[in-house]
Structure 1
Amino acid sequence: MNRTSIERVARRLRGAWGELLEDERGDVPGWVLITLMTAGLVVVIWALAGPALASLFEQAISRVSGF
């Protein structure tokens, strides 16, 4: 490759990279999926750990109130 062809390739890459940086549309379906999956994980974890956490809280309150 000669110098002019390398410069052309570099210009094309800079142009393509600039277009990617200026694209502000984002990936809405991806963010929706991440949000829904996170909410689902919170619900599952809360369902599994909720009773144990409630029991732990009640024990802590009863110990503090016992004094």
Structure 2
Amino acid sequence: MRQLVARIRTAGRELVEDDRGDVPGWVLITLMTAGLVVLIWAMAGPALADLFEQAISRVSGL
């Protein structure tokens, strides 16, 4: 039982030490996501603003 626990701890330490992350990959994913948000917002922004104004005018009765 102790050997199993020791093996699990060793494997866990190796995973933690090896899993430092791929920083350039995460930066690229973050930038691509931000770019997609900006692109979608630029295309859908006017339509969403118009939809919001219509909803407000229907609720307020103006």
Partner of residue 47, structure 1:
42
SS at match of 1:26: coil
The root-mean-square deviation of aligned C-alpha atoms, in Å, is 1.7
**Structure-1-length-normalised TM-score:** 0.67
Partner of residue 32, structure 2:
37
In structure 1, the gaps of 5 or more residues are: 1-17
Partner of residue 56, structure 2:
61
Name segments (4+ residues, structure 1) moved above 6 Å.
none
Partner of residue 8, structure 1:
none
**Structure-2-length-normalised TM-score:** 0.72
In structure 2, the gaps of 5 or more residues are: 1-10
Report the Cα distance in structure 2 between the residues aligned to 1:48 and 1:26, rounded to whole angstroms: 34
**Alignment length (residue pairs):** 50
Percent of residue pairs bearing the same amino acid type = 86
